[in-house]
């Protein structure tokens, strides 16, 4: 067997080494060609705009198919704003499905590019509200010939599984702290509670007001006219969009490119015209992520996705989130680097495992004693995500960041009726009065149920105590804004839960100030968790890591094609709990996602 293993390794190396040499030659050949003195930067914008993609493609030639992450876009636009070689930025927008705060921060990045003297054109494929809201930040909006605008407003949708699950014999017991912590409702109710409706309406009011106000101002039309389009027209053909003042032109992408090329160079664009530079190619030529003017650094540590105890332990491990070990490794690396003078914790997380969130806060508090730590909230920093933010000396949030949700809930599945219907027999021998209490085959009763409720209540009290200590508020004051209530960043600032309105770069400047760094110099920015490329994995002798990376990439792409914006995340969590054979889940997590479409 050992001989076969060595033979396989030898074959692997024999096949891969020529590929590596070819790829390195290809990369060198590409990098040796500088960008032209004047060009158009083409940037595709679509999908969920993940905060940061830590795992790069394990196959070099597939990298060009990878979407730019949200942070990629922010850093790229930041540099493009001062790049005099760029004449025009062409944003090809279609299918943007992300949080309101991310759209707002991206709008600000686009405005900075325009302020730097670059012309920014939005090219819209058949677009929805999110696409159009983003496009309205540009100098001009061009709609694809034959396309349309679907401007039908905003909605929030929730699914309730209590009845269909009950029909097959699956029920849930829940502990909810408190009434606004509505994550349990899909399993315990058949419709939304008044508390859930109240906070969803408040969130939609804020987002809708921003949408109508920003677009009407940028396009020079009245708010009433825009609302009339949404309420009476909704589906707007391209030519009509121009008539209504919603767009500036209609063209195919080839017609638009030809028009831009004529304006810049006075001639028709050719098939391999270097005038148009793709975003990934442009990024390769930059000092990434910023062009620093000093050796001192700020570490930006991203906490993205669900907070879990350990990545890979989940039955649904495609969206792995951030675990305690990943955060610890990032903090250790940043603290060990003597040139890192300050830390920025960038949070884009709905929370998750309550105890893992508490562990993360403890680690972050310890790190903040050694180096100044500033928090930057992205699209969402709620529940366990908000708990992590308590370590920040200063906390920044976008006006439409979804935050708060300070609360805890616990779910206990019961499949006793399903087992009875299926004729499943069960015999248990125990030692200890509660040894079989948490099984999925029966509900919690009596003292076991009381302990279930009490345990989640203890975690809630600990949570609001942590908030009170960090935010210098009384426990009663925290409780009045907690109980699971969800706030926008603007509201959270008024409630004392965050300190400042601002995005990632505002937080970096604050970290620089708190660390006493030279304000006149641009610090280096180091991104954590560190991204491992396919080549690093090869050098580490880790072909299995490449295979695993390929599998996860393939699965993500399949899921994206099948359900690019899944409304079933709550059902996936329920499935995970069932796979854990009845383990009680103590969650500090958002009950829903708010996404503009």
| 136 catalytic per annotation | no
- Residues 282, 265: Cα–Cα separation, whole Å: 20
- Residues 558, 580: Cα–Cα separation, whole Å: 25
Q: Which of 48, 182, 383, 470 is catalytic?
A: 383
Report whether 266 contacts 494 (CB < 8 A): no
Looking at domain 297-533+572-589, its CATH class is alpha beta
Task: Sketch the domain layout of the chain as residue ranges.
Answer: 35-152+234-284, 297-533+572-589
Sites in the chain below the pLDDT cut of 50: 1-2, 4-9, 28-32, 57-58, 60-65, 313-318, 559-568, 570, 577-579, 581
Report whether 404 contacts 377 (CB < 8 A): no
Report whether 205 contacts 490 (CB < 8 A): no
3-state helix, strand, coil in the chain (%, to 5): 45, 20, 35
Beta strands 297-304 and 524-528, pairing class? parallel
* DSSP collapsed to 3 states, 428-473: CCCCCCCCCCCCCCCCCCHHHHHHHHHHHHHHHHHHHHHHHHHHCC
Helix extents (H) in 279-415: 279-284, 324-336, 354-370, 384-389
Q: Which of 181, 257, 371, 412 is catalytic?
A: 181
Helix extents (H) in 292-339: 324-336
Strand partners, 380: 402
Model pLDDT, residue 446: 93
DSSP 12: H
- How many Cα atoms occupy the beta-carbon half-sphere of 90 within 13 Å? 21
For 35-152+234-284, the fitting CATH number among 3.65.10.10, 3.60.70.12, 3.30.70.890, 3.90.226.10 is: 3.90.226.10
The closest of 502, 254, 480 to 396, measured between CA atoms, is 502
pLDDT tens-place string over residues 29-85: 444 458 999 999 999 999 999 999 876 544 544 444 457 999 999 999 999 999 999
Q: Which two tokens stand for residue 521?
A: 């110099």
- Residues 583, 440: Cα–Cα separation, whole Å: 8
pTM of the entire structure? 0.87
| 217 catalytic per annotation | no
Phi and psi angles of residue 555, each rounded to the nearest 5 degrees, phi first: -65, -40
Q: Is 35-152+234-284's fold the same as 297-533+572-589's?
A: yes
CB atoms within 10 A of CB 419: 16
Model pLDDT, residue 309: 86
């Amino acid at each position: 067997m050992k001989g076969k293993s060595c033979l396989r390794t030898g074959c692997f190396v024999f096949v891969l080494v020529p590929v590596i040499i070819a790829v390195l030659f290809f990369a060198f050949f590409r990098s040796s060609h500088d960008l032209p003195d004047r060009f158009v930067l083409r940037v595709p914008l679509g999908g969920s705009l993940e905060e940061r993609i830590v795992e790069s493609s394990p196959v070099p030639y597939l990298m060009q198919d990878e979407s730019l992450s949200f942070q990629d876009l922010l850093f790229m636009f930041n540099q493009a704003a001062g790049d005099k070689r760029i004449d025009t930025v062409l944003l090809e927008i279609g299918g943007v499905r992300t949080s309101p705060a991310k759209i707002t921060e991206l709008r600000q990045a686009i405005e900075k590019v325009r302020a730097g003297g670059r012309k920014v054109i939005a090219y819209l494929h058949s677009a929805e509200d999110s696409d159009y809201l983003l496009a309205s930040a540009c100098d001009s909006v061009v709609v694809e010939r034959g396309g349309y605008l679907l401007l039908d407003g905003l909605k929030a949708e929730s699914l309730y599984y209590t009845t269909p699950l009950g029909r097959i014999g699956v029920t849930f017991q829940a502990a909810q702290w408190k009434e606004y912590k509505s994550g349990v409702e899909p399993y315990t109710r058949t419709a939304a509670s008044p508390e859930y409706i109240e906070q969803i309406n408040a969130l939609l009011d804020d987002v809708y007001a921003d949408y109508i106000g920003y677009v009407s101002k940028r396009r020079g039309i009245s708010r009433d006219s825009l609302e009339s389009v949404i309420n009476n027209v909704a589906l707007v053909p391209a030519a009509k969009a121009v008539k209504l003042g919603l767009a500036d032109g209609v063209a195919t992408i080839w017609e638009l490119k030809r028009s831009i090329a004529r304006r810049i160079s006075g001639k028709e664009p050719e098939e391999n015209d270097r005038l148009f530079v793709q975003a990934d190619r442009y990024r390769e030529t930059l000092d990434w992520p910023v062009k620093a003017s000093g050796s001192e650094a700020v570490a930006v540590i991203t906490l993205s996705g669900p907070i879990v105890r350990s990545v890979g332990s989940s039955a649904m491990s495609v969206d792995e989130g951030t675990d305690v070990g990943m955060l610890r490794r990032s903090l250790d690396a940043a603290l060990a680097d003597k040139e890192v003078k300050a830390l920025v914790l960038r949070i884009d997380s709905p929370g998750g495992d309550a105890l893992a969130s508490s562990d993360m806060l403890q680690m972050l508090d310890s790190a903040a004693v050694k180096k100044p730590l500033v928090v930057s909230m992205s699209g969402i920093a709620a529940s366990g995500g908000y708990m992590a933010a308590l370590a920040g000396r200063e906390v920044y949030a976008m006006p439409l960041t979804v935050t708060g949700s300070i609360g805890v809930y616990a779910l206990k599945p019961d499949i006793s009726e399903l087992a009875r219907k299926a004729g499943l027999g069960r015999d248990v021998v125990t030692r200890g009065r509660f040894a079989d209490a948490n099984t999925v085959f029966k509900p919690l009763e009596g003292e076991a149920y009381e302990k279930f409720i009490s345990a989640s209540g203890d975690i809630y009290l600990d949570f609001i105590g942590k908030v009170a200590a960090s935010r210098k508020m009384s426990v009663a004051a925290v409780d009045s804004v907690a109980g699971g209530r969800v706030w926008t960043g603007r509201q959270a600032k008024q409630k004392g839960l965050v300190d400042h309105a601002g995005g990632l770069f505002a937080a970096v400047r604050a970290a620089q100030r708190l660390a006493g760094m030279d304000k006149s110099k641009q610090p280096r920015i180091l991104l954590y968790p560190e991204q491992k490329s396919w080549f690093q994995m090869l050098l580490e002798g880790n072909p299995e890591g490449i295979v695993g990376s390929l599998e996860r990439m393939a699965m993500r792409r399949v899921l994206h094609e099948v359900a690019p914006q899944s409304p079933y995340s709550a059902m996936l969590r329920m499935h995970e709990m069932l796979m854990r054979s009845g383990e009680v889940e103590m969650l500090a997590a958002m009950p829903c996602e708010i996404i503009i479409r």
